Structure 1
């Protein structure tokens, strides 16, 4: 698979190149040091995956990834950062990033890249541990502006609570096909890409 590395620390870029070159399945086809370079490289080289830092001078990794995925919704972006700040995690989830891992976990970088390439989402243990607390709220979300039906609201809440289509179908006495249709319709109505973004949307209304 072809990978582009972007980080404003040149030593980090060099180290990542060295790490990734140890795996015969991974080919680093380009590297850069800013969000603007990330966009230019992706447009020119069309990599299978962009491995990018979050906090950089000028165009941030988050903003670069957002622009890239607006241009190409199928783009695979894996954030590699020293920051586990709540707002970064929420924003990474919101824009549809495929993963968010910490640089300290260098041994997980190659497995994470391969997992994202195969279509999985990858979040490091430190990030996963944070997500439940980010999702908690003592207030009921306000969806009055969206005109959802009671069944749609029930679907959204169950998705946000991590329920599978089968579990939702059992709880609401529907077929799995009906549940899939409802969720697809909700995602389209909200212009969201997937269930993870729907869960983030639910909790951000609180």
Structure 2
């Protein structure tokens, strides 16, 4: 099996290479230090499995996974991390990665690679126990992604409650003109036409 290792910690990458190459069936065809390396090295080597860290400089492992899988839908990617954040797990599942393991579980890496190579999807025991609940959760809309400030979010909630510009101005100690300016900015950021659409949008994303 040809394995590509990408980790921004050179010592970790070296340790992983040593661990893998002690198994006679594994050959490390290359190593990289960030997501950009992962994309370019994957194109070059077409490894059987890409073993990659999630949190890296320049481009994260999740971003690299998304790009690689868009180009190579059958790519087998096994993500390694010291974190077990719910957001990472959900995104990894959505992108179609074949595995997600915690780095500290070194003994499971070689068996996981072999399983992934045969087409299985592998998640560490700590992660497997949480997957059913994660998949049932409705992801909360993140207004921060649209650069909606705390004040703007408050205005959105007041619009959704049916308050007029004057009532919002009185409640927040602002002028009506300032409220209108805020609303205009909010509608632009969320690509909405008017306050009615804004109210509907708010309740759709609760």
Asked if 1:52 corresponds to 2:52, the answer is yes
- Cα separation, 1, equivalents of 2:120 and 2:81: 19
Q: Which has the larger radius of gyration?
A: 2
Q: Spell out, residue by residue over 1:53-112, the C-alpha distance to the aligned partner (whole angstroms, 9 max, x if none).
A: 011111100000110010010110000111100000000000000000110110000000
Structure 1 segments (4+ residues) deviating >6 Å: none
Change (3 A) 1:49 1:136: same
Distance 1:56 1:114 in 2: 25
Q: Tell me the residue number matched to 1:163.
A: none
For structure 2, which runs of at least 5 residues remain unmatched after alignment?
Answer: 139-204
TM-score with structure 1 length normalisation?
0.66
Q: Secondary structure in 2 aligned to 1:75?
A: coil
2:78 is matched with 78
Residue 131 (structure 1) shift: 1.1
Equivalent residue runs for 1:1-206 within 5 Å: 1-137=1-137
- Kindly tell me the number of residue pairs found equivalent between the two proteins: 140
Q: TM-score, normalised by structure 2?
A: 0.66
- Runs of at least 5 residues in structure 1 that lack an aligned partner in the other structure: 139-204
Inter-CA distance 63–137: structure 2 relative to 1 (3 Å threshold): closer
- Secondary structure of 2:47's match? coil
3-state SS in 2 of match to 1:40: helix
How far, CA to CA, are the matches of 2:49 and 2:136 in structure 1? 32
Instruction: Report the Cα offset of residue 137 of structure 1.
Output: 4.8
Distance in 2 separating the partners of 1:110 and 1:47: 15
Q: Which has the higher contact order (CA 8 A, sep 6+)?
A: 1
Tell me the distance in 1 between the aligned counterparts of 2:18 and 2:135.
37
Partner Cα distance (1:137, 1:92) in 2: 15
Partner Cα distance (2:90, 2:126) in 1 = 14
